[in-house]
C-alpha cells in the first residue's frame, strides 16, 4: 500500500525510518530524509532551505545531514551542517549522492535511501560518536512537501 507521498509504500518508509534510527543510535549527529514531488530550484539550494525549515541548523554541534529528493524531477542532494561539512573529506557528499542515484536509476528507491543513510550514519559515527545521555534532537520521520511552493 502506498503512503500519502505516492513515492514509497508504508513498509518502505518504515524501513528507511528504522535505518535512520539505527544510524543515529551510534552518533550524536542528526539525519533526516525529505521528499517532495517537484522542485524548480537547484536541488542543493532547495536542500539548504529545507534544512533550515526543519530546524536542522539548530543542532548543538551543527552535525545534521539532510538527504533531499524531488521524486518526479529525479533530483537529489545531500546537505550537511557546518560542523560536519568542514570535517568530511572531499568527494564524500558526492559519493553519498552517487549511491542514491545509482539505485534510483534501477528504480530501487528504498534501497538507495537506506544505503545513503547507512553511509552518512557511518561517517557521523566516526566524527560524532554517541555520547552517554545524548538526546535525539530531531524527528526520524521522513518529511514531505508535494512541491516546493509549500
Domain-located, residue 149: no
Average pLDDT over residues 9-19: 93
CATH code at 28? 3.10.310.50
Beta partners for residue 145, in sequence order: 36
Instruction: Please give the torsion angle defined by the CA atoms of residues 25, 27, 28 and 32, in that order, rounded to the nearest 10 degrees.
Output: -70
Question: pLDDT value at position 133?
Answer: 59
Is 27's pLDDT higher than 70? yes
Tell me the residue ranges of DSSP E strands in the chain. Answer: 30-38, 64-70, 75-80, 143-147
Q: Could you tell me the pTM of the whole model?
A: 0.88
Q: What is the rounded CA–CA span in Å between residue 20 and residue 121?
A: 8
Contact by Cβ (8 Å): 68, 42? no
Distance separating alpha carbons of residues 130 and 145, to the nearest angstrom = 31
Classify residue 1: in a domain, yes or no: no
Rounded to whole angstroms, how far apart are CA atoms 82 and 61?
9
Neighbours of 68 (CB within 10 A): 26
pLDDT per residue as tens digits for the range 118-138: 999 999 999 998 776 555 555
Q: What is the pLDDT of residue 134?
A: 58
Residue 136 counted as domain residue: no
pLDDT for residue 136: 56
Q: Does residue 32 belong to any structural domain of this protein? A: yes
Residue 61: pLDDT band with limits 50, 70, 90 = confident
Beta bridge partners of 79: 66
Residue range(s) defining the domain that contains residue 88? 10-126
* φ, ψ of residue 6 in degrees (nearest 5): 70, 10
Per-residue model confidence (pLDDT) at position 1: 44
Looking at the 3D structure of the chain, how many domains does it have? 1
Q: For the chain, what is the mean pLDDT? A: 87
pLDDT at 73: 87
Residue-level pLDDT at 19: 95
**Distance (Å, rounded) from C-alpha 17 to C-alpha 93?**
21
Amino acid at each position: 500500500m502506498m503512503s500519502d507521498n505516492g513515492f514509497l509504500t508504508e513498509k518502505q518508509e518504515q524501513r528507511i525510518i528504522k535505518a535512520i534510527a539505527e544510524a543515529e543510535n551510534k552518533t550524536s549527529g542528526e539525519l533526516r530524509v525529505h521528499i517532495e514531488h517537484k522542485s524548480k530550484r537547484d536541488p542543493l539550494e532547495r536542500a539548504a532551505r529545507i534544512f533550515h525549515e526543519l530546524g536542522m541548523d539548530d543542532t548543538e554541534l551543527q552535525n545534521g545531514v539532510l538527504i533531499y529528493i524531488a521524486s518526479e524531477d529525479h533530483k537529489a542532494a545531500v546537505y550537511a551542517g557546518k560542523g560536519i561539512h568542514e570535517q568530511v573529506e572531499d568527494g564524500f557528499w558526492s559519493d553519498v549522492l552517487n549511491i542514491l542515484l545509482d539505485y534510483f536509476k534501477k528504480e530501487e528507491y528504498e534501497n538507495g535511501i537506506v544505503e545513503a543513510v547507512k553511509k552518512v550514519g557511518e561517517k557521523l559515527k566516526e566524527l560524532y560518536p554517541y555520547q552517554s545521555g545524548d538526546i535525539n534532537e530531531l524527528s526520524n520521520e521522513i518529511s514531505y512537501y508535494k512541491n516546493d511552493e509549500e
